[in-house]
Amino acid sequence: MKLKSMMALLLVISLMAALLTACADSALKAAAGTYVGQYVKLVGDDAKKNEQFSLTLLEDGTGKHSRDGMEFDITWTLEGETFTMKETFVGEPILYTGTMQEGRLDIFNGDPESIWTYEYVYQKQ
């Protein structure tokens, strides 16, 4: 009897893991695409800068961040509305956090409360 119970439990755990993976994959697929920069600004300064920047998110959690006339390889995740991204600049990682809602992506390259942190706002094409 214990063997059957253990096997049933393992089956349930396996099915739940598969379901969670499928949900994560579908979230990445839905979020994948090209995002065009709307504006960037320092958190401590309300002046918006009209710079040219974009973000390409691929379904496998990788992509490209184009800004300041350069292009950076990135990795990214999306859990619910929480977006995280990592790019490498001159050998150092730059971490971004933010939110994705209805095709709008707001990310910060540091502490969102710090006046020296940049806020980037994108819209999905």
Domains assigned to the chain:
32-124 (2.40.128.270)
Instruction: List, in sequence order, every residue forming a beta bridge with 84; answer none if it has no partner.
Output: 77, 97
pLDDT, average across residues 26-50: 92
- What percentage of the chain reaches a pLDDT higher than 90? 67
Average of per-residue pLDDT across 48-71:
94
Residue 38 has pLDDT above 90, yes or no: yes
pLDDT of residue 22: 47
The b-or-e profile of 62-93 (16+ CB within 10 A means b, else e) is: ebebebeeeebebebebeeeebebebeeeeee
The C-alpha atoms of residue 74 and residue 122 are separated, in whole angstroms, by 16
Give the residue, 47 or 8, on which the prediction is more confident. Answer: 47
Contacts of 58 (CB under 8 A, 6+ apart): 32
11 pLDDT tier (thresholds 50, 70, 90):
low
Q: Taking the alpha carbons of 25, 80, 71, 104 in that order, is the dihedral positive or negative?
A: positive
Q: Is the pLDDT score of 98 beyond 90?
A: yes
Report pTM. 0.77
- CA 82 centroid distance within chain: 7
Mean pLDDT of 65-90: 94
Residue 42, judged by CB atoms within 10 A of its CB (0-12, 13-18, 19+), counts as: middle
What pLDDT does residue 4 have?
Answer: 66
Nearest CA to 124 out of 25, 37, 61 is that of: 37
